Amino acid sequence: HENMLATAAKYGPLVRIGPNDLLCTDPETLRRMSAVRSRYTKGVFYETGRIIPGCNNIGCERDEKRHKALRAKMGGAYNGRENGSRGFEGSIDRQVMNLVALIEKKYISTPGKLRPFDLCAKAHFFSLDVISDASFGKAFGFLVEDRDLHRFIEINDSAVPIMNILQAIPSLTGVVYRWPFNLALPKDGDGVGFGRLMGLAKRCVEERLHPDAKPGQDMLQAFINGGMTYDELVQHMFVQMERIFPGIFATITSVAGSITTAAAIRHTFLAIVSTPFSISSNLVSRPVITDAEAQSLPYLQAVIREGRRMWPPVTGLGSKQVPKGGDLICGYPIPEGTQVSHNYSGIMRLKEIFGEDADAFRPERWLEVGGNEEQLRAMSSALELAFGNGKYQCLGKRIVLMEMGKILFELLRRYNFALMDPQHPIKSSSGVFWVGSDLILRLTKR
Helix, strand, coil share of the chain (percent; to 5): 55, 10, 35
Please count the residues of the chain: 446
CA-to-CA dists, residue 33 to 4, 38, 265, 304, 391, angstroms: 20, 6, 29, 27, 10
Helix axis angle, 119-136 to 88-106, nearest 10°: 150
Is 400 in contact with 410 (CB distance < 8 Å)?
no
Of 205, 398, 373, 441, give the one whose Cα is nearest residue 294: 398
DSSP strand pairing (14-18 vs 21-24): antiparallel
60 in a labelled binding site: no
Of 258, 256, 364, give the one whose Cα is nearest residue 309: 364
- What does the alpha-carbon distance between residue 407 and residue 101 come to, in Å, rounded to a whole number? 13
Taking each continuous run of H as one helix and of E as one strand, the counts in the chain are 19, 12
Radius of gyration (C-alpha) of the chain in whole angstroms: 21
Of 41, 58, 40, give the one whose Cα is nearest residue 49: 58
Burial 18-35 (b: 16+ CB within 10 A, else e): eeebbbbbbbebbbebbe
Question: Which amino acid type is present at position 197?
Answer: L
Q: Binding site membership for heme: which residues?
A: 394
Q: Binding site membership: which residues?
A: 394
